[in-house]
Structure 1
């Protein structure tokens, strides 16, 4: 519910003030519910069956996007290069009408499968099995039945999905929980609705993946308030823009900056943190009118017709929802992410562990 209400992060989430303090009692109540829920699942009353392969969860504790999808894509690519057979599961925003798990292809309808799963399928050229459903356990069952050779599953989000039984690496298991954190941090560090957090900032994790730091340092970094857990900085980079209606037609960001005046350039992003996209373009010398939109925004031809610009720059996530829009002014800016070798080496050492849930007599 909170995720759908707060499509745009309120300003009071970033600093403590009268509004956040007024809402603090509701945040306290929400925290109590979280603690009760955790106790219930820790008691393991239902004793659900864990997945037969290791699960890597890429999630966040802050409402809104922090850059999980590019990380999921990069992890799948690197694991495949290292000889693993990865697959991906997601809740799939917009797929709530689905009655059964759905396999996603690059040709899938994002309004049914979700824009992020379709983006992953397009970026990876349908190389990996991708399944979406609200119940991730059912997704895993359907996925492994269709692709029994899969030996590691990456979950796009799912830290708060308690029904996804796992034995995290910090407890000697093979399942890994990543918390993705961007330059906004934890804001005022209050839980919803007084702040942006779905869980306390002190939430346990196997490692923190930091995106979009001001200082782009590669490798392993440390943060005191992460309770001594590993933290890695992931360096992202914008690629060469291509025309939405003709992907073979490309031009560099430098060419765009030289060809169009700032007043004739529009930057559009329907993300959890649109400012990050705009800031990355500014660093490359592109300035113009900025259109920050709610995450998962639904685009129409009329929307773009209302923009007075000769060049409109959008993200790849936005592009998957614009396939039926024919506007030669729209250019798509891809994003790539580098995973440090220290992260992959550590992660492989976890995945190669014997399954602690298998016992031999």
Structure 2
């Protein structure tokens, strides 16, 4: 209901206006405290890149974090990934994530990032503390933050916003709309990366550089035995489910690959799965969901890894910012 209201509109949304005003007031005071210096930002001896958004829900940040990490590593930089660890129940922080850690303790996205990236991944709700850990323990040159655009306590060198086709929804702040900060915030970031074909933001008169990314599917992998792979034509009429910000984007991608789906089941982002959520027979899910269900999935469950492909012009912008900060020599 709330998602439909945010993106399709409903008269009942006006009942939430008082709560939205309170959210605006509290968040505005918090920003003012940091801007005035009353609340201090913590800086670390590393180049900090925040990959975030102004709305709630997933929209493709994780593939961007992985693409950035791979590219930065190829430049010879020592890279670490920092995450709040949404939904994590770790008994201690900062916590370095390993592939064997349960997603319930470290979060689904951090576990995925640890498996895929090959670099240190740390979760800590106090991001400044986690960033300090990455610098002190792993001597990271660059820290890529998965989310955290509104976590002003950690100073950053570059802010990237990822947006999908839902853009800013109805344009209202929480809970009346999906926004953590107003659309005005986009004017202050270093770049906007669109997880959609459109790169136009009509709501802004002036925008930072905008880039389009595409999600390139890899071979499907078995959830129980990831070393087993198959292609799209191996499926007959599988069931599909997704617990991400925009499940329909995943289902559409599967159909575009020529897969005829027998059913589609959407779950909330960061849904806590149980074995009853998994149907019998062929099942396809996202990689993010696979890290949460691998312990109880059956042997005919498959996931689709995707890689983010970013424009060369985006990497040129990244190189310029790194060079300006003394972390990279162009040419």
Same fold (TM over 0.5): yes
Are residues 1:81 and 2:71 paired? no
Are residues 1:106 and 2:99 paired? yes
Listed as ranges, the matches of 1:60-79 within 5 Å are 60-79=53-72
Are residues 1:282 and 2:275 paired? no
What residue number does 1:147 align with?
Answer: 138
Listed as ranges, the matches of 1:282-301 within 5 Å are 282-286=255-259, 287-301=261-275
SS in 2 for 1:242: strand
Q: 1:251 aligns with which of 230, 234, 237?
A: 230
| 1:49-98 superposed Cα distances (whole Å, 9 cap, x missing partner) | 41221110000111111111111011000111122211110001222544
Asked if 2 retains the 8 angstrom alpha-carbon contact of 1:237 and 1:335, the reply is yes
Listed as ranges, the matches of 1:192-231 within 5 Å are 192-203=174-185, 204-213=188-197, 221=199, 223-226=201-204, 227-231=206-210
The alpha carbon displacement at 1:209 in A equals: 0.9
Asked if 2 retains the 8 angstrom alpha-carbon contact of 1:96 and 1:133, the reply is no
Kindly tell me the number of residue pairs found equivalent between the two proteins: 322
Distance verdict in 2 for CA 1:30–1:299, change over 3 Å: closer
Distance verdict in 2 for CA 1:225–1:52, change over 3 Å: farther
Q: Distance in 2 between matches of 1:31 and 1:276?
A: 30
The alpha carbon displacement at 1:191 in A equals: 0.6
The alpha carbon displacement at 1:302 in A equals: 3.3
Asked if 1 retains the 8 angstrom alpha-carbon contact of 2:110 and 2:121, the reply is yes
The alpha carbon displacement at 1:326 in A equals: 4.6
Listed as ranges, the matches of 1:48-59 within 5 Å are 48-59=41-52
Q: Which moved more, 1:244-253 or 1:82-91?
A: 244-253
Asked if 2 retains the 8 angstrom alpha-carbon contact of 1:270 and 1:293, the reply is yes
Asked if 1 retains the 8 angstrom alpha-carbon contact of 2:41 and 2:152, the reply is no
What residue number does 1:359 align with?
Answer: none
| 1:222-241 superposed Cα distances (whole Å, 9 cap, x missing partner) | 54544221111001122211
Q: 2:112 aligns with which of 116, 119, 123?
A: 119
Q: Distance in 1 between matches of 2:77 and 2:40?
A: 29
SS in 2 for 1:290: strand
Structure 1 runs not aligned, ≥5 long: 1-7, 167-174, 216-220, 356-361
Q: Which moved more, 1:222-231 or 1:333-342?
A: 222-231
Asked if 1 retains the 8 angstrom alpha-carbon contact of 2:42 and 2:128, the reply is no
**TM-score, structure 1 as length reference:** 0.84
Structure 2 runs not aligned, ≥5 long: 327-331
| 1:4-63 superposed Cα distances (whole Å, 9 cap, x missing partner) | xxxx85211113431122322322232122221111110112434412211100001111
**TM-score, structure 2 as length reference:** 0.92
Q: Distance in 2 between matches of 1:269 and 1:331?
A: 12
Q: Which moved more, 1:77-86 or 1:24-33?
A: 24-33
